[in-house]
């Protein structure tokens, strides 16, 4: 599977209810090396942050409320020295019309978009993208007459130790930026792929996927081992267009195009897929596309992977030889195998974080999503992708197969094309 040693934290947490602050001790990368190795052995998704479960309710935190210009304002400061980033899981979230939730670095140098009643959802939760700061202020403003309608409880803080826009090199040098000329014939497919976080701590790759009605229902696919379930699908955050603007140019340093929250639809460990429906569709100005797919089971004459290695900017990899059908991590060809095997990458590779990314055939249609393998910049070895053709019927129930969702009209189509 696509994992590596990431690091961990010396978990120390303190609250100061009187001043409205939470403090987390600095990360100790070396202390949890063995734990990350154990996660790899278990086949668990890699982590970019250490999760801290807390319960801090705005309405019971009376001391942190003040009146400002006719509004009631609540603030809570989160400090985690030397962290790469912070992210927040509000396990209770439901705002009245007058309310506005802001999250910004305490020195005002960084922020994310405000959250309002427009972000209310069926799960009554909100999971934020990362903010690249180690000292952050959470601020809620609401009309006094609607104060009793507020539901806001901070239930988790993700303390980042690796994530977007780190200055040091992360992914291997053989990876190819999607901005390079090699990606020119794959622009529509590139725009379907996102780096994702789940539970504010683990990361993978995934992609928007088309359906037989071409109606832009916000279906999103990734790998089953990335850990999205009915219980935690609300915590999914998808980051769009996280990629360099020029070939081998400066780091993207951008994570402001995101969707938060989803509804679990189906998954199966056999072909390692998960399908969800995002709570909202990506905004039109982000130019996100919906990847076409091919469920025929035919081998690809060549294959292309689009993925986010090690939470790095989006990359593209090429296999110029035909794929084969095997079982997971096996080389022997099996007619009814569960996986597509890429023998070795001719250009580029995959890495931890690439899991769940789509594999396209020569016709620009997805034939599988990355389960795992041994490929790297220093090893020309194989990768395995769970087959769309197997996932189509899955384990025989709507919650374990694709066809009920991607072909709800029962048109019986064997393939679809990418659309915008």
- Of 317, 287, 281, 306, nearest to 366 by C-alpha is 306
At 146, list the tokens: 């609607």
Distance, in Å, from the CA atom of 131 to the CA atom of 116, rounded to the nearest integer, reads 18
Select the highest-mean-pLDDT range: 292-301, 307-316, 345-354.
292-301
Q: Which residue matches tokens 């120390």?
A: 12
Q: pLDDT over 90 for what percent of the chain?
A: 80
Q: What is the pLDDT of residue 63?
A: 76
Residues 326-332: what's their mean pLDDT?
A: 98
Q: What is the pLDDT of residue 406?
A: 98
Distance, in Å, from the CA atom of 104 to the CA atom of 110, rounded to the nearest integer, reads 6
Distance, in Å, from the CA atom of 392 to the CA atom of 405, rounded to the nearest integer, reads 10
DSSP per-residue string spanning 24-62:
EPPP-TTTTHHHHHHHHHHTPPPBSEEEEEEEEETTT-G
Q: What is the pLDDT of residue 62?
A: 75
Strands of the 339-342 sheet, one edge to the other: 176-177, 315-319, 303-307, 358-360, 366-373, 383-387, 339-342, 324-326
> Of these residues, 58, 64, 197, 355, which one is catalytic?
355
Q: How many residues does the chain have?
A: 420
Residues 305-333: what's their mean pLDDT?
A: 96
Q: What is the pLDDT of residue 253?
A: 61
**pLDDT band per the 50, 70, 90 thresholds, residue 18:** very low
**pLDDT band per the 50, 70, 90 thresholds, residue 168:** very low
pLDDT tens digits, residue range 227-258? 999 999 999 999 999 999 999 888 766 678 99
For the question of residue 272 being annotated catalytic, the response is yes
> Of these residues, 272, 294, 312, 383, which one is catalytic?
272
Say which range, 24-33, 58-67, 69-78, 310-319, has the weakest mean pLDDT.
Answer: 24-33
Q: How many CB atoms lie within 10 A of CB 184?
A: 10
**pLDDT band per the 50, 70, 90 thresholds, residue 1:** low
For the question of residue 135 being annotated catalytic, the response is no
pLDDT tens digits, residue range 195-205? 999 999 999 99
Residues 78-95: what's their mean pLDDT?
A: 96
**pLDDT band per the 50, 70, 90 thresholds, residue 333:** very high
**pLDDT band per the 50, 70, 90 thresholds, residue 45:** confident
> Of these residues, 52, 225, 308, 405, which one is catalytic?
225
SS3 250: coil
Q: Taking phi first (over 0 means left), then psi (-120 to 50 degrees means alpha), and beta for anything else, what does residue 248 get?
A: left
pLDDT exceeds 50 at position 12: no
CA of 5: how far to CAs of 41, 86, 123, 164, in Å?
A: 11, 20, 33, 17
Distance, in Å, from the CA atom of 49 to the CA atom of 161, rounded to the nearest integer, reads 6
Domains detected in the chain: 13-160 (2.60.120.290), 172-420 (2.40.10.10)
Q: How many CB atoms lie within 10 A of CB 341?
A: 25
**pLDDT band per the 50, 70, 90 thresholds, residue 165:** low
Residues 77-90: what's their mean pLDDT?
A: 95
Q: What is the pLDDT of residue 254?
A: 65
DSSP per-residue string spanning 223-243:
-GGG---TTTGGG-EEE-S-S
Q: What is the pLDDT of residue 27?
A: 82
For the question of residue 184 being annotated catalytic, the response is no
Q: What is the pLDDT of residue 385?
A: 98
Residues 46-57: what's their mean pLDDT?
A: 91
**pLDDT band per the 50, 70, 90 thresholds, residue 167:** very low
Say which range, 117-121, 317-321, 377-381, has the weakest mean pLDDT.
Answer: 377-381
Q: What is the pLDDT of residue 32?
A: 54
**pLDDT band per the 50, 70, 90 thresholds, residue 5:** very low
């Amino acid at each position: 599977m696509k994992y590596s040693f990431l690091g961990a934290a010396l978990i120390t947490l303190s609250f100061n209810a009187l001043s409205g602050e939470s403090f987390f001790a600095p990360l100790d990368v070396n202390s949890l090396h063995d734990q990350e190795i154990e996660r790899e052995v278990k086949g668990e998704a890699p982590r970019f942050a250490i999760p801290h479960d807390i319960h801090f309710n705005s309405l019971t935190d009376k001391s942190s409320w003040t009146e400002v210009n006719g509004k009631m304002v609540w603030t809570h400061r989160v400090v985690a020295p030397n962290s790469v980033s912070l992210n927040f899981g509000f396990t209770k979230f439901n705002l009245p019309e007058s309310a506005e939730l802001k999250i910004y670095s305490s020195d005002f140098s960084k922020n994310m978009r405000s959250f309002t009643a427009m972000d209310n959802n069926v799960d009554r939760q909100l999971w934020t993208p990362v903010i690249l700061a180690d000292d952050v202020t959470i601020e809620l403003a609401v009309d006094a007459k609607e104060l009793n309608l507020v539901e806001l409880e901070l239930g988790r803080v993700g303390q980042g130790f690796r994530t977007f826009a780190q200055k040091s090199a992360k992914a291997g040098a053989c990876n190819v930026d999607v901005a390079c000329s090699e990606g020119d014939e794959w622009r529509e497919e590139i725009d379907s792929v996102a780096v994702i976080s789940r539970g504010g701590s683990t990361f993978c790759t995934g992609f928007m996927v088309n359906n037989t009605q071409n109606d832009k229902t916000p279906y999103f696919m990734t790998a089953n081992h990335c850990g999205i379930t009915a219980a935690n699908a609300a915590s999914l955050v998808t980051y769009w267009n996280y990629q360099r603007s020029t070939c081998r140019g400066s780091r993207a340093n951008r994570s402001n195009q995101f969707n938060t929250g989803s509804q679990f639809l189906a998954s199966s460990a056999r072909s390692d897929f998960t399908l969800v429906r995002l709570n909202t569709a990506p905004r039109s100005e982000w130019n996100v596309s919906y990847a076409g797919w091919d469920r025929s089971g035919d081998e690809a004459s060549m294959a292309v992977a689009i993925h986010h290695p090690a939470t790095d900017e989006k990359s593209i990899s090429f296999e110029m030889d035909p794929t084969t059908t095997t079982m997971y991590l096996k080389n022997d060809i099996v007619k009814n195998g569960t996986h597509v095997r890429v023998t070795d990458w001719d250009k580029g590779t995959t890495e931890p974080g690439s899991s769940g990314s789509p594999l396209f055939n020569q016709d620009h249609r997805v034939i599988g999503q990355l389960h795992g393998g041994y490929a790297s910049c220093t090893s020309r070895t194989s990768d395995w992708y769970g087959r769309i053709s197997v996932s189509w019927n899955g384990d025989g129930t709507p919650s374990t197969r694709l066809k009920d969702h991607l072909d709800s009209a029962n048109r019986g189509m064997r393939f679809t094309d990418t659309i915008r």
